[in-house]
Structures are given as C-alpha cells and as structure tokens.
Structure 1
C-alpha cells in the first residue's frame, strides 16, 4: 500500500496533502484564488490549549465548525460558546455562522481543530449560532453504499448567501458519494458548484487509517483524472467532473466535509448521476440501510 505522500493521482493540483498550505495557526488554507476558481474555500484552524486566533472574513461568508474541541467565537458584538466534540466520529456538532466583512476572534481553553468552510458572498447576513440539535441527520443509500449526511448548512436547513456544506460519515468498508455524480453545468436539474472534499479517517490498533477518492472527466473541457489515497487532513478539489466513489476501506470509517458554492443566482444543490452507473440507485429499494448507521448523533459517544 502506498503512503499518502506517494498516492497515485492523474493531476496533483487537485490534491492537497495535510500541511502543504499551512499558514501560522491555520493548518490548511484553500482560497478561491489558490484553487483557481471563484467561490468555494476552506481553512482549518489548529489552536493549542489556551490559544486564540483573530482574522477577517473579507469577501467570504464562513461557518466555524469544530472538528475536535470546543471554543468561544466572538464577532459582530456576539459571543457564541461552541460545545464542539471530541472528534468528527464522536457526535454531531454545533457551529457558528460568520458574515462577510466581519472581524472574528476564536479562543479555546483546551485547544482543538476548527474547520472554516466558506464561500465568496454578496449578501451580508447576521452572525448566528447553529445548535447541534438543529442539524438534520440523513441516511442515504443502502447496503454497502450506505452513509450518513449531516446537513448543517444546506439550502433546506440553514440560510446563507452562497455556501452549501455538509458532513458525510461512511462506515468502514462502504462506498459513498456513489453513484458518481457531477454539478458543473447550469441546466435543468443541475447547478454549477465548485466542491472541496476535506477528509478525516478513523483509527485502528496501529493508528489512523486510509481511504480513497475518485474524480474523472465529464466531457471536453472538463478533463480531470484523480484516484488518490487520502488520510486525515487531506483535501481534494473538484472544479468539475464526475466524483465518486469515496471509499472507506475495511477497518476504518471515513469522514469528509463537503464545501460547495458557485455562480448560480439560486443557492441550490442539484446533481446529475453518471448515466453509466445511475442504475445502482434502483437497487437500493431492495436493500436495508447499513445497521451501523447513524454513526453519530447529538450525544457524545463514549471513548
């Protein structure tokens, strides 16, 4: 098995390894400019115990989402206490919405890692707290294509200007983001959305595991070829093309944070399945959802 640093990919500019874009307290920084597109971005803030960070949101609306640990978020004269979680595999978390053109201070008594999915925004909405109890937990697929989706920032669950973001948890041995799908054209039933996949992987007796991600072209002008091993903190950028499956290998559950935004005037998450594999959906009606799901809920799982 190859190491994460030598994983096979057809186009490495779409794969960002943990630490490659670190900047101070941010262990990951992906902006629209660095990604070569116009809307979607992601940062991951890593704070030590007693640590804090201050930053400006600029042109972007953001959500502060604890990956591990709790924190206090101060912005716009508001202060939000986020209970957070021990890890992405331990519970569904609360979060804070941060408007564009805002000054933000994040502090953490015990330290932690905090994702900042973001989108280039035109409207300036108010800062808000998102309780974990309000996050819709959806079970998708069936059989070995079963997965859990935490819909914390979708058009149906939370108001934002452009940002769409969800968490997906896939039990060990299952495939998700499947059938392969795309959202790179503006047409009936499909929206143009740039997408970021940020990964965390469960651990076994010898340490953290691995997963895999596939992305491939959907036509002329949309050439892309990625088939890569992913580990915790790795990121895959998807400007266009069919993406899926996301593969959780046996023994290790897989988590990914999806960040999406695009030029459509309507904030909508509309996808098109690869017609070569769309038939798989029709087989789910005769299969049960994986009994291991949901992997997480509002209550913190015991260690």
Structure 2
C-alpha cells in the first residue's frame, strides 16, 4: 500500500495479488474505494458488502465504487487481483456506507482545442453525497494541457473561493509500441513561501497540493493522461470554488471558437447524463457548488 496524506485529505493505493485482501481502519476519515484496474469486494465491520465490478484500466471505462464511513474497519478483497484507490477526507459526520453505480457518474467535457479534457464527476459535490470529500477523475488526450488555466482554492472567500487541499494521483497510458508514458505537473506559489512544484509524473506518482496555483497538467504526445483528484478542507461546506491565475484566465475566451478534441470522450457511462462545458466550473461563468 502507498499512502499520501495531507491534514484534511488522504489517498491510499492498494495493489492486490489474486485472492489477496487489505484491511484498514477508517478512523476519523470517510473513504471511497475506487477500482483503478480489476474488481473487488468491499466489506465493513458492520457486515455491509459491496461487489465492485471495476474496469480493465482507468483508460477503458467509468467504474462503480463504494463509500465507507468514519469509525469502522474495511476489508478490500480481489479474487483476480488489481489496483484500487482509497480516497479519503477527515470528516465530522458519519454517513451510511453505500454503492455508487458506474452508470450514474456524470461525465463532462471541459475546455476546447488543446485544452480539451474529460471529467468523471463520480464524487463531485453535487454528484454524490459525502461529508467533506470531493473527488473526480480527469482524462487528458496525449498532447493536451489539462488543469488549465492554473487555478487555486487555498483561501476562504464566501461565494468566490473554497479552502481545499488537493492530491493528484497519475496514471499515464503507454505509447503504441508499449513505451511507458510521462507527463508534467506544475504548481506555483500563491503566497510567499508557498508550494512550488515542477514534476515529471509517471504511472503511480502523486503530487500533494496544500496551497498554490496548480496547473497545467501536461500530457505528452502519444500518451493519454489520467489523474484522480482528491480534495477536502477545514470548513463544513462541501464546495468547489476556484480562482483562475489572473495571467492565464484569458485562455478561456478562446475556447468558444475551437472544437472539442475529437478524441473525447475516451469513453462514456450513459450518454444522456454526459455534458459539455467550454466554460468549466473553474470559470466565472460556472462558479457555484459543483
């Protein structure tokens, strides 16, 4: 198991051989168990059991998932083996354990041209009830820039910006000859002494963002990029409100004149639930609870 932890959010990556299992205490965190590859059974100490069909990989399908509350013990078992993410957030309230169906996940296309990307909003704030946790998946075709323009959510300004930490977990598709892929992640300080990162990222890497302007996430040509965003903060309101970097927000004005990348969507859940947003919820036009 690989763990990544910030004061308010956390991520664990479980790699299970066939027939193996992993048990962990949820403590004061709520968690979503999300298959990255393979299927699994999730069981709580109270005897609740969720069979997750999963998927072959993050580049092939939306997956179902299981929400488990704080103050219990959870066992993840995989008869055939696989990789699984546990996305967590420190929380106050104990919500019921439950299953999230793949065909209910809203899929959104954001941006246009070389800023086009696909967002699987499986645990966005208006998509699936949690106490504090916000989590989404983003798929970016090779050669495109994602998480762009750079934005931040590290200060609380009512109706304008949330205070949320964030963890990015990456997987990069191999090239057509099987060559391992790579990408890049940038974080710049939003305050003196703030977070600054310029990282080459490969499958299994994570970038922790306690503060700062984050983006772009750059997918190398020929290598589609996946990242899982895990977010939470100190306030009870479960909101995702962001501010664009003032030097780069102009890029949004170019999107209406460009087509969405024809490679998107890479896949869909239910087409009648899919949406397109040239002005994503990052933008002033789309601000609000997301």
Q: Pick from 125, 130, 133: which aligns with 2:100?
A: 130
Determine the structure 1 residue equivalent to 2:9. Answer: 40
User: Contact (CA 8 Å) 2:190, 2:213: kept in 1 or not?
Assistant: yes
Deviation at 1:30, TM superposition (A): 1.6
Deviation at 1:154, TM superposition (A): 1.2
Deviation at 1:112, TM superposition (A): 0.4
Distance across 1 between alignment mates of 2:55 and 2:152: 32
Determine the structure 2 residue equivalent to 1:216. Answer: 188
Give the secondary-structure state (helix, strand or coil) at the position aligned to 2:240.
Answer: coil
Give the secondary-structure state (helix, strand or coil) at the position aligned to 1:191.
Answer: strand
Determine the structure 2 residue equivalent to 1:105. Answer: 75
Determine the structure 1 residue equivalent to 2:26. Answer: 57
1:148 correspondence with 2:118: yes
User: Contact (CA 8 Å) 2:107, 2:269: kept in 1 or not?
Assistant: no
- Deviation digits for residues 64-113 of structure 1, max 9, x if unmatched? 00000000111132111100000000100000001001111111110000
Give the secondary-structure state (helix, strand or coil) at the position aligned to 1:220.
Answer: coil
Q: Pick from 13, 18, 31: which aligns with 2:5?
A: 31
Determine the structure 2 residue equivalent to 1:4. Answer: none
Say what the alpha-carbon RMSD is for the aligned residues.
1.1
Deviation at 1:206, TM superposition (A): 3.8
Distance across 2 between alignment mates of 1:86 and 1:286: 36
Give the secondary-structure state (helix, strand or coil) at the position aligned to 2:161.
Answer: coil
Determine the structure 1 residue equivalent to 2:173. Answer: 202
Aligned residues: 267
1:298 correspondence with 2:272: no
Distance across 1 between alignment mates of 2:130 and 2:269: 23
Distance across 1 between alignment mates of 2:18 and 2:254: 49
Deviation at 1:41, TM superposition (A): 0.4
Q: Pick from 198, 202, 224: which aligns with 1:253?
A: 224
Q: Which consecutive unaligned segments of at least 5 residues does structure 2 have? A: 271-290
TM-score (normalizing by structure 2): 0.90
